[in-house]
Structure 1
Amino acid sequence: MNYSFEYIDIILLAMIAGFIFLRLRGILGKRTGFEAKAPPQFDKILKEAVSKQTVKIKETFDKKDQKEFLKGAKIAYETIITDFSDNDNKITSSKTLLNKEIYNQFNEALKSRSARGHYAEITFIGVNSAEIKEHKKIDKILNVTVDFIAEVITCIRDKDKKIVSGDPEKIKKIYDTWVFSRDTTSANPNWQLVNILT
């Protein structure tokens, strides 16, 4: 009789162990080598980790980020200068590249030029250099100051086409220091010109 009780105990323990194994397998999954897709409960954790890492990269503004930024800054610089040279009464193509204050300042300058009967002739030759002077993060806003050296041919004429300033035959080297800004928590990757330093 004792042997039969021990035999039943062994069977019961084996059944309990099997039940626990099956429960663990159902929760953890079975490892069969490379898994093409993580179980659903891990997808959320992975997405959160990637999201946090992306925010961290944006906040660091490392050399790779700076290199990509300068590519865009050169294009923005040329776009804004060219837009300002157009003889419309307001900024058009570069509006999204300017914050509200700079946009209003540019438009006022264009209106003033137009009121005097003057118009601009500007040929953008190119950006000789663009270097980050400093970058500073205040709360979630990252400000980047850039020193530009560029070449243009520029002159201002009056309504009788007489030259008021500049020289249409001479390449002029210009030196500018601009401050760009963006919200590091925003999904919008675009920067805006927020200040022009003299």
Structure 2
Amino acid sequence: MIDPILLFFVGLAAFLSYKLFSVLGTRGGAEQKDAERLRTHLSQTEKEEAEAPLTMPEEPVEKPKAPAPAWAEKVIEHYPGFDHARFVDGAKSAYEMIVQGFARGDLDRIRPFVDPSVMRTFEIAVKGRENAGQTMDVTFVGIEKAEVVSAGKRSDHIEIVVEYRSDQIRVMRDGDGNIVDGDPNRIDLVRDRWTYSRPAGSTDPNWVLSATENAAN
């Protein structure tokens, strides 16, 4: 017994083929000649491919990995298998996500990625904005740089310090929507220095934001 679902798809394919043929059939003579030349070219190509000697595909050549920078070697010493390029990419995403989460006051979303001591300062700042009836808008134009400035083991944790340079539009408004700080038409260069950490010897691949500061000019 033929599956009725299979019959449906067969009928649908036939209908679409007919509609496609109908549309192609309305083209002019010049296009039909082009189609004929295309068929001739394809036939000739198939013939050449059939007569060509059979060759095995070449093995893909693996590109050698770039050597780890000095700061990454200090991490690998305590965290074998550490991928420095992947960490930097993740640090860029984390920076934008955490800044925007803080600006919106959406702290629950970023809580898993922030150390409790840093989260406490975020909560105080957000609560202060709410009490003042203020809102904060942050628009990322782009991250110019995310550069590791130091890394290593401190006490029982591995720490990596990343310095960011980013272009942002930052505006603070009061309860009536009036601007109290910033300019929606101005792009500011923002420099931050954040520290990420993880317990040495942990099997958890995640890093958390453990300290923040403004980078020196």
TM category (shorter chain) comes to 0.5 to 0.7
Q: After superposition, give the CA deviation of every residue in 1:112-140 in whole Å (9 maximum; x if it has no partner).
A: 01101110111122211100000021244
**1:94 maps to what in 2?**
110
Task: Find out whether 1:160 has 2:179 as its counterpart.
Answer: no
CA offset at residue 188 of structure 1? 1.0
Q: State the superposition RMSD in angstroms.
A: 2.0
Of structures 1 and 2, the larger Rg is shown by 1
Q: Give the letter aligned to residue 115 of structure 2.
A: N
Q: After superposition, give the CA deviation of every residue in 1:10-34 in whole Å (9 maximum; x if it has no partner).
A: xxxxxxxxxxxxxxxxxxxxxxxxx
How many residues of Structure 1 are paired with residues of Structure 2 in the alignment?
Answer: 140
Q: Pick from 62, 65, 78: which aligns with 1:59?
A: 78
Equivalent residue runs for 1:31-42 within 5 Å: none
Structure 1 residues 97 and 105, CA gap change in structure 2 (3 angstroms): same
TM-score, scaled to structure 1: 0.66
Look up the SS of the partner of 1:103 in the other structure: helix
Q: Give the letter aligned to residue 169 of structure 1.
A: N
Larger proportion of strand:
1
The 2-side partners of 1:134 and 1:102 are apart by 20
**1:76 maps to what in 2?**
94
Equivalent residue runs for 1:167-182 within 5 Å: 167-182=183-198
TM-score, scaled to structure 2: 0.60
Look up the SS of the partner of 2:211 in the other structure: strand
Q: Pick from 140, 143, 147: which aligns with 1:124?
A: 140
The 2-side partners of 1:114 and 1:81 are apart by 17
Structure 1 residues 160 and 132, CA gap change in structure 2 (3 angstroms): same
Q: Give the letter aligned to residue 87 of structure 2.
A: F
**1:147 maps to what in 2?**
163
Structure 1 unpaired stretches of 5+: 1-55
CA offset at residue 184 of structure 1? 3.0
Q: Point out 4+ residue stretches in structure 1 off by more than 4 angstroms.
A: none
Q: Give the letter aligned to residue 80 of structure 1.
A: I
